[in-house]
Every structure is written in structure tokens, then in C-alpha cells.
């Protein structure tokens, strides 16, 4: 008799896990708390704003057994990815193994295996993702602020910010995307960072930037690969009148934010540390009037259904480059 494996979550990781468990001769049962597949790519999760697109190219993002459609852009948008995951669930036959609208409340060890809400399994795969609980920094004076403060999880579209002064805390993928989108409608946009990330192009010389990581390229000495990558990145900054002083360990895909910085439609500021009634306060003592603050400050993974100590806990990371220190790795057009 085939061993039974519980898979918790029907997002990308859960679907792929179930598909390959079947291939290995096992019997997966997928538990999904919502009524559909897709995980964070579903619009009703609050995690995927309409303009969200993949950080990696469709060739790098696709499962090995199902490519994205040729007609899609190199970096598919939210609805494209969701449709792809729906198709994957059908093509692989995984959909019939999913128990929809069944949230897991308790996973417990049992002799030789585990129980999931009392049901016996030989193993459990947790595929609920890392974006469980939004992380929001403590901001002095937040209770006195008369404007709007929201986490990027609650951001939907730029329309409510039309004609307003907005501060976005965090220059990771979400922060950069939201700031660029707001620049088209807001009166002013500031993006506050602890340490400015390095912005990497999505495209380079007519093809996705991540296509550079070929097997042949990986055979080159590390020093050569590093030099080549830095030259490409420095050229991206130089074309916009900026200078890349160093390559940060934090890299944000896409150079749209650099374009807006060069045009002056977005201002990069030090870490957001506090608020007063009508404005935002930054780590260098500066202040700007603002009507709204968007906290693109990441998430904390939580697994409330697992027993204590499973998995081993580690200090939380915000997953963003926001709100703590004024250091940066770029120079504005005026200082280049």
C-alpha cells in the first residue's frame, strides 16, 4: 500500500510537491484553506496587487514539466501566473487530490508518522509559504498621524492615492513596484530605505537578465562572474546619470524605480522612523508632509498548526530594505 502524504497548501509549492509525490508512487492529499488553487497569486489573498509580475523570467519560473505560453511576456503578471497554476493543477491531475476549503488546525507526531487534524499520514509537506503575517515597524507618533497607514498587503491600486503625498517604506520588490505605480498619479512619492538595494535589470541586451546564469557562465571563475555582473549593473546606473558605488547584498529586480528617480518623480530618503500629525520623519532628522504611508516592510512566516519547535525557529527577517538606516549604494543624478 502506497504511503500517504499530506500536503498543506495548493499554491505553486504545494501543487509541484503533490505532482512529484504521485510520480514517486506515493498518495498525496492536498489541504487548501481557500476554494481555489494559486496561493499568494490569487487576488483575494491581498498579497498580489494587479500589477505584480514575476521577478524571474518565465523560462526560469516555469515548472520543468509545463512551460508558460510563448505569447506571454518574459516576466508574466499576476493573472498570467494564476492561470498557469490553474492549468498545472489540471494537466498534472493534481486537482482531484485537493480538499478545498479545509484549513489545517493541528499537525501532530504519531507513531511512525503524523496526524493532520486527527487523520493519519506517513509524512507531511508544509507548503503554506512565507508570507503569513505582515511585519510593521514601530513608528513613533503613529497614533497622532491624521493620514492613512497601510501595509503593502492591503494595497490594491493607485487610484485612492491620486493627488496625494505618499511615503513608501521599503525598496524591495513590492515597495519599488508600488512606488513606481504611485508616481503616475500621486502629487509626490518618497521611498524610505534602511539601505538602498541594488536594482538589477529584468532585461539585458534583448533577453531576460537571469538568462545570463547559464551552465557555461557558471564555469567561469567567481571573480570574473562578479566583475561582469558589476559592469552590467554599473552601466544601468550610468545611463540614468547615477553612479553605483557598491553592489548591495539586497537586490531588487527591475530598474523602473531608477527611471523615476532620474526623472525626479520619486525621492529616495533615509529610513522612516516616525510620524507627526501631517508628516513623515526620517532617520537623518528630515521631514516631509504626507497624506499616506505604505509599509512595504515584509512578512513573517508562521505555522500555527505545527507543534512547538517544528520547524526550528530563527530570528524573523522583514524581507525588505526599509526603514532603519540612511546608508545607500547609489548617488542621485545631481551628485553623480
Domain coordinates in residue numbering, the chain:
4-126, 134-299+314-331
What pLDDT is stored for residue 65 in this prediction? 95
Phi, psi of 87 (to 5 degrees): -65, -40
**pLDDT exceeds cutoff 70 at 186:** yes
Give the C-alpha distances (Å, rounded to integers) separating 212 from 31, 226, 293. Answer: 38, 12, 37
269-308 tens-digit pLDDT:
999 999 999 999 999 999 999 999 999 999 988 899 999 8
Q: Residues 193, 295: contact at Cβ < 8 Å?
A: no
What stretch of H or E contains 90? helix 78-91
Give the C-alpha distances (Å, rounded to integers) separating 242 from 219, 303, 308, 332. Answer: 32, 43, 49, 6
Same fold, 4-126 and 134-299+314-331: yes
For residues 106, 108, 110, 115, the Cα torsion angle rounded to the nearest 10 degrees is 30
Closest by CA position to 100, among listed 41, 27, 35: 35
What pLDDT is stored for residue 132 in this prediction? 81
The residues, any chain, with a CB within 8 Å of residue 311's CB and separated by 6 or more, are 303
**DSSP string covering 18-83, please?**
HHHHHHTT-EEEEEESSSSS-GGGSGGGSS--TT-B-SS-HHHHSBTTBPPPTTS-SS-BHHHHHH
Q: What is the mean pLDDT of the chain?
A: 90
**pLDDT exceeds cutoff 80 at 330:** no
**pLDDT exceeds cutoff 50 at 41:** yes
226: confidence class by pLDDT, cuts 50, 70, 90 = confident
What pLDDT is stored for residue 328 in this prediction? 33
Q: Is the dihedral of CA 231, 232, 238, 244 positive or negative?
A: negative
In angstroms, rounded to a whole number, what is the distance separating the alpha carbons of residues 137 and 143? 13
318: confidence class by pLDDT, cuts 50, 70, 90 = very low
Phi, psi of 200 (to 5 degrees): -105, 140
115-154 tens-digit pLDDT:
999 999 999 999 998 888 899 999 999 999 999 999 999 9
* CATH architecture of structural domain 4-126: 3-Layer(bba) Sandwich (3.50)
In angstroms, rounded to a whole number, what is the distance separating the alpha carbons of residues 224 and 227? 5
Q: Which CATH superfamily is domain 134-299+314-331 in?
A: FAD/NAD(P)-binding domain (3.50.50.60)
Phi, psi of 334 (to 5 degrees): -70, -20
Q: Residues 281, 275: contact at Cβ < 8 Å?
A: yes
Name the pTM for this structure.
0.85
How much of the chain exceeds pLDDT 70, in percent? 93
How much of the chain exceeds pLDDT 90, in percent? 76
Three-state DSSP class for residue 256: helix
What pLDDT is stored for residue 333 in this prediction? 37
**pLDDT exceeds cutoff 60 at 324:** no
Amino acid at each position: 500500500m502506497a504511503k500517504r502524504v499530506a500536503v498543506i497548501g495548493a499554491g505553486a509549492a504545494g501543487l509541484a510537491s503533490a505532482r512529484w509525490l504521485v510520480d514517486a508512487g506515493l498518495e498525496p492529499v492536498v489541504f487548501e484553506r481557500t476554494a481555489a488553487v494559486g496561493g499568494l497569486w490569487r487576488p483575494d489573498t491581498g498579497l498580489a496587487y494587479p500589477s505584480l509580475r514575476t521577478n524571474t523570467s518565465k523560462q526560469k519560473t516555469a515548472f520543468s514539466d509545463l512551460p508558460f505560453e510563448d505569447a506571454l511576456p518574459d516576466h508574466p503578471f499576476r493573472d498570467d501566473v494564476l492561470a498557469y497554476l490553474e492549468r498545472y493543477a489540471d494537466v498534472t491531475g493534481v486537482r482531484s487530490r485537493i480538499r478545498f476549503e479545509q484549513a489545517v488546525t493541528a499537525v501532530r507526531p504519531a507513531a511512525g508518522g503524523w496526524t493532520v487534524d486527527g487523520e493519519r499520514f506517513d509524512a507531511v509537506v508544509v507548503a503554506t509559504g512565507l508570507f503569513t503575517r505582515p511585519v510593521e515597524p514601530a513608528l513613533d507618533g503613529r497614533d497622532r498621524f491624521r493620514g492613512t497607514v497601510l501595509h503593502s498587503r492591503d494595497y490594491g491600486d493607485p487610484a485612492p492615492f491620486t493627488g496625494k503625498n505618499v511615503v513608501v517604506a521599503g525598496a524591495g520588490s513590492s515597495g519599488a513596484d508600488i512606488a513606481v505605480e504611485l508616481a503616475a498619479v500621486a502629487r509626490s512619492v518618497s521611498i524610505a530605505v534602511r539601505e538602498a538595494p541594488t536594482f538589477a535589470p529584468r532585461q539585458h541586451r534583448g533577453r531576460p537578465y537571469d538568462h545570463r546564469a547559464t551552465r557555461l557562465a557558471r564555469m567561469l571563475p567567481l571573480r570574473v562572474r562578479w566583475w561582469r555582473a558589476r559592469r552590467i549593473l554599473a552601466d544601468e546606473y550610468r545611463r540614468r546619470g547615477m553612479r553605483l558605488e557598491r553592489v548591495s547584498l539586497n537586490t531588487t529586480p527591475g530598474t523602473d524605480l531608477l527611471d523615476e528617480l532620474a526623472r525626479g518623480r520619486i525621492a529616495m530618503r533615509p529610513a522612516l522612523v516616525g510620524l507627526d500629525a501631517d508628516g513623515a520623519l526620517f532617520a537623518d532628522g528630515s521631514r516631509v508632509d504626507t497624506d499616506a504611508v505604505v509599509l512595504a516592510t515584509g512578512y513573517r512566516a508562521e505555522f500555527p498548526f505545527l507543534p512547538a519547535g517544528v520547524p526550528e525557529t530563527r530570528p524573523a527577517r522583514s524581507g525588505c530594505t526599509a526603514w532603519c538606516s540612511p546608508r545607500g549604494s547609489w548617488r542621485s543624478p545631481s551628485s553623480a
